[in-house]
Structure 1
Amino acid sequence: MNFHQLIPQVDSIIQGSSSVDEKLLAICTLLEANVEYYNWVGFYFRNGDKEELKLGPYVGAPTDHTIIPFGKGICGQVAVSNQNFVVPDVSAQDNYIACSITVKAEIVIPIFVNGENIGQIDIDSNTPDPFTEADERFLEYVCAQISKILS
């Protein structure tokens, strides 16, 4: 399924009547089930006033990384940089936190509410270098929609 086909489904989830966490989990499930190379899809959010991220809803293998300090790993770097981070080969990253030996690539896109980076979507792939600009634009759209339910 291509990204254009997923947009109405994302919109439908966002506009639904379920709780925020249920909507986030539904988005994780939708993306993991419909994008072949999305093998782990989850959200991390700023943990109150602390300089750390806390794991939110996700789909995929369990992870021990429920708290990530700002600056640590790809997610922690995005919390500081406020920029998308696409990693074609995780083994080439010095500051990568390994969640699974099967993960080959990662993409992290920040979520902004009122101009503030409050969290991010994190996607791991077991496929080397699968992410394109189309993934970035689609995930930016997803994050923009999610920001509406978090503000």
Structure 2
Amino acid sequence: MIFEQLKPQVETIILNTEKTVNERLLEICELLEKHIEHYNWVGFYFRNGTKEELLLGPYVGAPTDHTVIPFGKGICGQVAVSNQNFVVPDVTTQDNYIACSITVKAEIVVPVFVNGKNIGQIDIDSNTPDPFSEADERFLEFVCEKVATIL
């Protein structure tokens, strides 16, 4: 499985202290987007201090206007409130979905916890309908756990 092959690469990126945190986060985005066929946009959002909003961090994929997302708005904003993974097999079925691109068919968002607190998330958009499995969720949880160690 591709996820098992990518785990050591994620760990290597995380451990490379010669790069800044943002450089390492971007490298993770690039790794996932390049090697997982159904990952078409990969990025991180992080809580903006004490504000109830998320700020876009490092990402790869089409540019987005959604650089600030209020808590509760869209899939990312809902994860900021729920502290739960959110898998959307078909974005057209979500009333609270924020469209980044007309090509996006599905989305998965997994929170990043530091000391038990949700401080951000990884957001993946796919141009493939219903591509995400439980294996994607477990892998992205692994990625978020590793990312948390450098935040």
TM surpasses 0.5: yes
Structure 1 distance, partners of 2:68, 2:51, is: 11
Give the SS at the match of 1:14: helix
Match of 1:4 in 2: 4
Give the alignment of 1:136-147 within 5 angstroms: 136-147=137-148
Structure 1 distance, partners of 2:51, 2:119, is: 12
Give a deviation string over 1:15-47, Cα, whole Å, max 9, x none: 002100000000000000000000000000000
Structure 1 distance, partners of 2:55, 2:71, is: 11
Give the SS at the match of 2:43: strand
Give the SS at the match of 1:106: strand
Mapped pair 1:20 → 2:21: yes
Mapped pair 1:45 → 2:38: no
Q: CA deviation at 1:68?
A: 0.1
Q: CA deviation at 1:78?
A: 0.0
Give the alignment of 1:36-115 within 5 angstroms: 36-115=37-116
Unaligned runs of 5+ residues in structure 2 are none
Aligned structure 1 segments of 4 or more residues deviating by more than 3 angstroms: none
Q: CA deviation at 1:96?
A: 0.1
**How many residue pairs are counted as aligned between the two chains?**
150
Structure 1 distance, partners of 2:84, 2:133, is: 16
Structure 2 distance, partners of 1:125, 1:136, is: 14
Q: CA deviation at 1:148?
A: 0.3
User: Which one-letter code corresponds to 2:30 in the other structure?
Assistant: T
User: Which one-letter code corresponds to 1:115 in the other structure?
Assistant: G
Give the SS at the match of 2:144: helix
User: Which one-letter code corresponds to 1:89 in the other structure?
Assistant: D
Structure 2 distance, partners of 1:121, 1:137, is: 13
Structure 1 distance, partners of 2:146, 2:63, is: 26
* Aligned-pair identity (%): 78
Q: CA deviation at 1:7?
A: 0.3
Mapped pair 1:30 → 2:31: yes
Give the SS at the match of 2:11: helix
Structure 1 distance, partners of 2:120, 2:134, is: 21
Structure 1 distance, partners of 2:146, 2:11, is: 7
Unaligned runs of 5+ residues in structure 1 are none
